[in-house]
């Protein structure tokens, strides 16, 4: 399946009862928080006779196993990404736009924020080297920054293939997800039987594409069409099967370890999470409308990719400052995993989140740029995907350094330009009156206060559906005058987020019989 298949991709019919499911918004916000927490707890800093030592605090530790069962949220990330991506694509086709428009927009919205983050880290690493910091320590910092970027590369591929996979889902949903899942099982079996872990990296595509496909089932109502009992049994069966693979030695009980390379354990986690989310829909919707839930959604939803990209630089800066403080003052740092270390983790996490929030506020404005008019060329989109993804692969393969960061930034700039319409083509389309790919309006996240008011206005009906026009016009004049532009602003802000772009999408309860 290639980008060329997009010209044959039909636009599936919109599901009935489209509306805003604020519970899904809350789940994705909690997933982002979970990623930051688990990465923050992996930071281990000690000082020995040679100087600072930066290590993964979870390696060889028993505490990571139960924590990974709680905080391994990446399967759910891709399920929700499929849920939101499918609906965003259907909404675009409803507006007369094409699959190539969708792919072009996703390339822009994924690579532009990454470009800024990688450029900033490259400059910072260069400054550390010129200031005399040992090259080995700078190399460790660059390697640690690169590790989470696998998500960027994999999600780029998933989004580029999404229109074709949505069409396959509409034609043969069970065959499509079944073939992807069987492929992942076959790769896992080959890895285990051969003892060659490198084989498992084929599942960087198969495992995550399967989970994205599972998100389509959640979006079209197939999951909630099952009875509550059936969904509960599926969740229990997935967890039982997962435990069985641990007992048999097929998979590691550390779910974080099952990411590198991805294993079929993640498919079972994804099934369990999907069923659990559907079963908890009602309380999730209630919690999402609480004051805290509203604030979390308002801040994180338009900044999820920004937070994901920038939380590692925050952690690396804090690790460096902690080591420098210990060396200058002579104070001993607590050994990772010890009682003193755990006692300091609440303060550590508080400082991490303060830094991430501050940086997310500052960086989001830089990244909310007007996307260019999308290209209609399948060849240019293919090249953009290969070149932009190649920049990510470079950083994953050899780590981030001033040089590799520069190469990656140039590749992403080239990819963004390839995904946009050439100036001459845009003029010709405009003259011919065929321009169906007008530039999207500028996206700039609103303030937390503004976004909170927007979501609160959307929730005043006590229903997850948007109010009909007759209800909106019946509101007091002041509310009517302010709600529409503010709601428009939060919609624009949420569309900035490439992983979770939707404001209006099918409620997961639309077709429920449970």
Residue with tokens 């140039």: 410
Domain contains 477: no
In a domain, 306, yes or no: yes
Report which of 115, 86, 25 is spatially closest to residue 302, judged by C-alpha positions. Answer: 25
Q: Which two tokens stand for residue 458?
A: 């959307």
pLDDT(436) > 60: no
Over residues 410-439, mean pLDDT: 63
State how far the Cα of 499 lies from the Cα of 448, in Å rounded to an integer.
Answer: 20
Whether the CB-CB separation of 1 and 164 falls below 8 Å is answered with yes
Structure tokens, 427: 């003029």
pLDDT of residue 308 exceeding 50, the answer is yes
Q: Which residues of 328-352 are buried (b: 16+ CB within 10 A; e: fewer)?
A: eeeeebeebbeeebeeeeeebeeeb
Dihedral (CA of 37, 38, 39, 42) sign: positive
Is residue 492 over pLDDT 60?
Answer: no
- pLDDT of res. 369: 67
Beta bridge partners of 262: 259
Collapsed DSSP state (helix, strand, coil) of residue 504 = coil
What is the spatial distance between Cα 134 and Cα 126, in angstroms, rounded to a whole number? 12
Note the pLDDT of residue 50: 80
**Cα–Cα distance between 422 and 487 in angstroms, integer?**
33
Residue with the bigger pLDDT between 352 and 505: it is: 352
Residue 18's beta-bridge partner residues? 506
Question: What CA–CA distance (Å, rounded) separates 360 from 371?
Answer: 20
**pTM of the complete model:** 0.80
Q: Which residues of 357-395 are buried (b: 16+ CB within 10 A; e: fewer)?
A: bebbeebbeebbeebbbbbbbbebbbbbbebbbbbbbbb
> pLDDT tier at 480 (50, 70, 90 boundaries)?
very low
Instruction: Show the CA angle centred on residue 300, arms to residues 299 and 306, nearest 5°.
Output: 115
**pLDDT tens-digit readout, 122-161:** 999 999 999 988 999 999 999 999 999 999 999 999 999 9
Average pLDDT score over residue span 3-20:
44
Tell me the HSE value of 67 on the side-chain side, using a 13 A CA sphere. Answer: 18
In this prediction, residue 378 has a pLDDT band, given cuts at 50, 70 and 90, of very high
> Two tokens at 399?
């780590």
Of residues 489 and 370, the one with the higher pLDDT is 370
First-to-last alpha carbon distance for the chain, in angstroms, is 36
Position 354 in a domain:
yes
In a domain, 472, yes or no: no
pLDDT at 514 over 50: no
| 147 is a domain residue | yes
Of these ranges, 41-45, 452-456, 478-482, the one predicted with the greatest mean pLDDT is 41-45
Mean pLDDT of 178-185: 97
What band does 60 get if pLDDT is binned at 50, 70 and 90? confident
**In 131-149, alpha helices (H):** 135-146
- Burial zone of 95 (CB within 10 Å; 0-12 exposed, 13-18 middle, 19+ buried): exposed
In a domain, 79, yes or no: yes
Per the domain annotation, does 462 fall within a domain?
no
**3-state SS class at 462:** coil
**pLDDT > 60? residue 296:** yes
Q: Which residue has the higher pLDDT, 256 or 2?
A: 256
Domain contains 237: yes
The token pair that represents 232 in the structure block = 């509960």
> Is residue 7 predicted with pLDDT exceeding 60?
no
| DSSP assigned state of 18 | E
All residues at 6 or more sequence positions from 506 whose CB lies less than 8 Å from its CB, including other chains: 15, 17, 18, 19, 21, 87, 219, 220, 221
In this structure, of 51-55, 346-350, 494-498, the range with the lowest mean pLDDT score is: 494-498
Residue 441 CB neighbour total at 10 angstroms: 11
- Given a cut of 50, is residue 62 above it in pLDDT? yes
Answer whether residue 13 shows pLDDT above 90. no
Partners of 44 in the beta sheet? 55
pLDDT band at 331 (very low <50, low <70, confident <90, very high): confident
Q: Which of 417, 373, 414, 419 is nearest to 390 (CA)?
A: 414
pLDDT of residue 256: 93
- pLDDT band (50, 70, 90) for residue 262: very high
**Residue 448 binned pLDDT confidence (cut-offs 50, 70, 90):** very low
Q: At 465, is the pLDDT very low, low, confident or very high (cuts 50, 70, 90)?
A: very low
Question: How many separate domains does the chain show?
Answer: 1
Q: What is the pLDDT of residue 48?
A: 83
How many residues would you count in the chain? Answer: 514
Dihedral in degrees, nearest 10, Cα atoms 400, 406, 410, 413: 70
Which of 1, 3, 112, 24 has its CA nearest to residue 297? 24
Which range of residues forms the domain containing residue 376? 22-421
Q: Does the pLDDT at position 485 exceed 80?
A: no
């Amino acid at each position: 399946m290639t980008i060329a298949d997009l010209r044959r991709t039909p636009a599936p019919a919109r599901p009935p009862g489209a509306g805003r499911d604020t519970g899904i918004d809350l789940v994705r916000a909690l997933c982002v928080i979970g990623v930051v927490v688990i990465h923050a707890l992996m930071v281990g800093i000690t000082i020995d006779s040679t100087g600072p030592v930066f290590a993964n605090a979870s390696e060889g530790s028993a505490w990571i196993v139960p924590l990974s069962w709680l905080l391994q949220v990446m399967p759910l990330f891709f399920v929700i990404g499929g849920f939101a991506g499918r609906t965003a694509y259907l909404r675009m086709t409803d507006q007369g736009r094409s699959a190539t428009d969708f792919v072009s927009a996703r390339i822009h919205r994924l690579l532009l924020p990454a470009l800024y983050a990688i450029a900033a880290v490259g400059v910072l690493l260069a400054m550390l080297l010129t200031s005399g910091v040992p090259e080995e320590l700078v190399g460790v910092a660059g390697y640690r920054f690169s590790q989470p970027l696998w998500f960027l590369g994999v999600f780029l591929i998933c989004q580029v293939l999404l229109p074709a996979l949505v069409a396959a889902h509409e034609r043969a949903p069970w065959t499509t997800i079944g073939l992807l899942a069987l492929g992942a099982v076959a790769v896992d079996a080959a890895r285990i039987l051969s003892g060659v872990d490198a084989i498992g990296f084929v599942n960087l595509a198969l495992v995550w594409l399967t989970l994205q496909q599972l998100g389509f089932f959640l979006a079209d109502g197939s999951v909630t069409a099952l009875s509550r009992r059936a969904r509960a049994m599926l969740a229990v069966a997935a967890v039982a099967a997962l435990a069985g693979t641990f007992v048999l030695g097929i998979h590691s009980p550390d779910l974080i370890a099952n990411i590198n390379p991805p294993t079929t354990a993640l498919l079972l986690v994804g099934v369990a999470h999907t069923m659990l989310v559907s079963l908890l829909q009602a309380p999730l919707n209630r919690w999402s409308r609480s004051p805290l839930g509203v604030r979390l959604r308002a801040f994180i939803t338009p900044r999820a990719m920004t937070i994901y990209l920038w939380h590692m630089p925050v952690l690396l800066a804090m690790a460096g400052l902690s080591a420098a403080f210990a060396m200058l003052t002579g104070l001993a740092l607590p050994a990772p995993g010890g009682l003193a270390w755990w006692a300091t983790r609440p303060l550590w996490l508080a400082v991490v989140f303060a830094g991430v929030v501050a940086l997310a506020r500052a960086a989001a404005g830089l990244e909310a740029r007007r996307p260019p008019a999308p290209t209609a060329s399948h060849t240019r989109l293919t090249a953009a995907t290969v070149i932009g993804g190649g920049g990510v692969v470079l950083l994953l393969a050899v780590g981030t350094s001033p040089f590799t960061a520069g190469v990656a930034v140039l590749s992403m700039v080239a990819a963004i330009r390839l995904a946009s319409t050439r100036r001459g083509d845009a003029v010709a389309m405009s003259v011919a009156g065929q321009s169906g790919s007008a530039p999207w309006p500028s996206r700039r996240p609103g303030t937390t206060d503004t976004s909170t008011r927007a979501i609160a206005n959307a929730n005043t009906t006590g229903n997850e559906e948007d109010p009909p026009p007759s209800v909106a016009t019946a509101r007091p004049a002041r509310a009517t005058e302010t709600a529409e532009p503010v709601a428009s602003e939060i919609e624009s802000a949420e569309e900035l987020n490439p992983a979770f772009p939707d404001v209006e999408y099918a409620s997961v309860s639309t077709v429920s019989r449970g």
